[in-house]
């Protein structure tokens, strides 16, 4: 082979080599281009998913026309229950006479016509029964008190679930009248609290309100005692022991010991919160006595959550107490709810201020939270006034709820002329002057405690 032939053959090989190099480069470029295209397609798919975000998170959501609401926080409150309490049902003779019918029966339903909605709407309605059901062998009158059994029918219809039967008039018709009162109230399916049929019965009740268990107990003052048997109104002592929950002001340590034991027993039965109803204080005094304050503070120290007082026949202040043994524990206390109904009119009283015509509907709201705990969530108070009027020539004692949310409607709702409307407004002002600041303090604390609870649960 000539040198030229050799050079020519070599040149062809070199050319082929360069062609192969170019093909390899082209293939590499093509592969890289396809890879970049694939990545771009995946990125495009990701973008199409992102546009499903809520509008507030990008303009793409608005373009897509789709909206997605952010997830809502679960409600921390899983159960709510409300107890509505009113003051003394002081059934004087003129009241019984006003509701006597021509056939000899008694019909009291109209007396409650304006307030029954407040009690039927609550989960539990409570009132102090300041009379007895001692039977028809005794006159229907006050002091000594006795009322016709038919009053119970109207109390049931008005929405009352519990009657407080421990007060200074419980034994007005002796022990037999006290026991018959308990039997009569219970025969209508209503819970009694404060007096029992025998010494073996429990002295308290644990009430299940929408799954929230509230322990309740009622006490009255006694003027004296003999061997564990109280005298309730300077009268003969009750003939049996253990049938009245009472305290004597000269021996409060015994009361505290008993109450502490009963609170512990309630908790053993599942009570998560506690209410004490107590008949105490000085009649017609517009502020609590030093003994009331002392007792209230001790009950707060024992862990009571709510104290509801009666007996003075006038409204007394409301207060938020702080335990001296546990700074984190607070107690709501209203020292007296006044009269739900009575004949203690200005004209009949040495106290000429009108306060004996005033009462209140006091409500306590309990809540259970998602973490299983329960607490007093709110309290409120609606003043009431007893309007003594004549309808068709018939005397009526009408309990009027002076709801501030309906203040501009009182005249129409209750059929009040200008004079009676002015009396209702005076009654409202009297009550709020006494309880207003305390009510605000209690509500503010409970609202703050609830907000803190809700925030801690939200994490």
- Model pLDDT for residues 261-290, shown as the tens digit of each residue: 999 999 999 999 999 999 999 999 999 999
Same domain, 390 and 436: yes
Q: What is the pLDDT of residue 40?
A: 41
**Does 92 lie in the same domain as 54?**
no
In sequence order, what are the beta bridge partners of 384? 359, 401
Alpha-carbon gap, residue 173 to 232, rounded angstroms: 11
Q: In terms of domains, do 303 and 388 share one?
A: yes
The domain containing residue 54 runs over which residues?
Answer: 3-64
35 and 169 co-located in one domain: no
The reply to whether 43 and 141 lie within a common domain is no
Give the β-pairing of 358-369 and 273-279: unpaired
Say if residue 399 is in the same domain as residue 443. Answer: yes
- Does the pLDDT of residue 52 top 80, yes or no? no
pLDDT value of position 113: 98
Q: Which pLDDT score is estimated for 246?
A: 98
Residue 69 lies in a domain: no
Are 26 and 86 found together in one domain? no
412 domain residue, yes or no: yes
Residues 115 and 219 reside in one and the same domain? yes
Return d(Cα 188, Cα 45) in angstroms, integer. Answer: 72
Q: Does the pLDDT of residue 23 top 80, yes or no?
A: no
User: What band does 74 get if pLDDT is binned at 50, 70 and 90?
Assistant: low
More confident residue, 65 or 415: 415
Report pLDDT digits (tens) over 331-340: 999 999 999 9
Beta-bridge partner residues of 336: 316
Provide the number of structural domains found in the chain.
2
**Which of 64, 94, 110 is at the close of a domain?**
64
Determine the Cα–Cα distance for residues 299 and 337; give it in Å rounded to an integer: 18
End-to-end CA distance of the chain: 94
Task: Name the domain boundary from 11, 33, 64.
Answer: 64
Examine the fold and report which residue of 37, 64, 91 is the final residue of a domain before the chain moves on: 64
- Residue 228, beta-bridge partner list: none
Mean pLDDT across the stretch 176-197?
98
Identify the pLDDT of residue 75: 79
Count Cβ atoms within 10 A of the Cβ of residue 242 and give its class: 0-12 exposed, 13-18 middle, 19 or more buried.
middle
CA nearest 229: which of 248, 216, 250, 201? 248
């Amino acid at each position: 082979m000539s040198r030229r032939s050799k050079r020519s053959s070599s040149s062809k090989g070199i050319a082929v080599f360069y062609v192969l190099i170019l093909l390899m480069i082209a293939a590499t470029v093509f592969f890289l281009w396809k890879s970049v295209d694939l990545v771009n397609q995946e990125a495009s798919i990701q973008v199409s998913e992102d546009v499903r975000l809520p509008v507030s998170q990008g303009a793409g959501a608005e373009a897509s026309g789709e909206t997605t609401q952010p997830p809502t926080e679960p409600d921390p409150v899983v159960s709510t229950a409300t107890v509505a309490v009113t003051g003394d049902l002081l059934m004087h003779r003129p009241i019984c006479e006003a509701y006597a019918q021509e056939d000899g029966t008694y019909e009291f339903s109209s007396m409650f016509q304006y307030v029954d909605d407040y009690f039927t709407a609550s989960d539990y309605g409570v009132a102090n029964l300041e009379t007895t059901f001692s039977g028809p062998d005794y006159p229907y009158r006050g002091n000594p008190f006795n009322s016709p059994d038919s009053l119970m029918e109207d109390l049931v219809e008005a929405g009352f679930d519990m009657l407080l039967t421990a007060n200074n008039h419980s034994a007005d018709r002796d022990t037999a009248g006290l026991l018959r009162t308990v039997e009569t109230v219970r025969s209508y399916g209503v819970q009694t609290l404060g007096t029992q049929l025998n010494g073996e019965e429990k002295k308290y009740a644990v009430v299940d309100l929408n799954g929230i268990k509230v322990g309740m107990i009622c006490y009255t003052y006694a003027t004296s005692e003999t061997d564990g048997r109280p005298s309730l109104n300077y009268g003969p002592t009750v003939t049996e022991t253990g049938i009245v929950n009472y305290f004597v002001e000269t021996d409060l340590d015994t009361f505290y010991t008993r109450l502490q034991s009963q609170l512990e027993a309630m908790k053993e039965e599942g009570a998560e919160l506690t209410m004490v109803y107590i008949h105490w204080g000085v009649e017609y005094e517009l502020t609590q006595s030093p003994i009331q304050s002392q007792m209230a503070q001790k009950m707060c120290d024992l862990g009571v959550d709510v104290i509801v007082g009666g007996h003075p026949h006038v409204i007394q202040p409301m207060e938020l107490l702080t335990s001296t043994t546990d700074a984190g524990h607070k107690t709501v206390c209203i020292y007296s709810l006044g009269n739900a109904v009575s004949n203690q009119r200005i004209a009949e009283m040495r106290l000429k201020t009108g306060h004996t015509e005033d009462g209140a509907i006091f409500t306590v709201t309990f809540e259970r939270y998602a973490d299983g705990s329960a607490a007093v969530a709110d309290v409120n108070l609606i003043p009431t006034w007893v309007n003594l009027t004549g309808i068709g020539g018939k005397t009526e004692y009408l309990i009027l709820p002076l709801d501030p949310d309906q203040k501009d409607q009182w005249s129409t709702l209750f059929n009040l002329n200008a004079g009676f409307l002015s009396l209702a407004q005076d009654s409202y002002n009297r009550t709020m002057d006494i309880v207003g600041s305390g009510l605000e303090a209690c509500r503010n604390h409970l609202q703050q405690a609830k907000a803190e609870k809700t925030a801690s649960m939200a994490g």
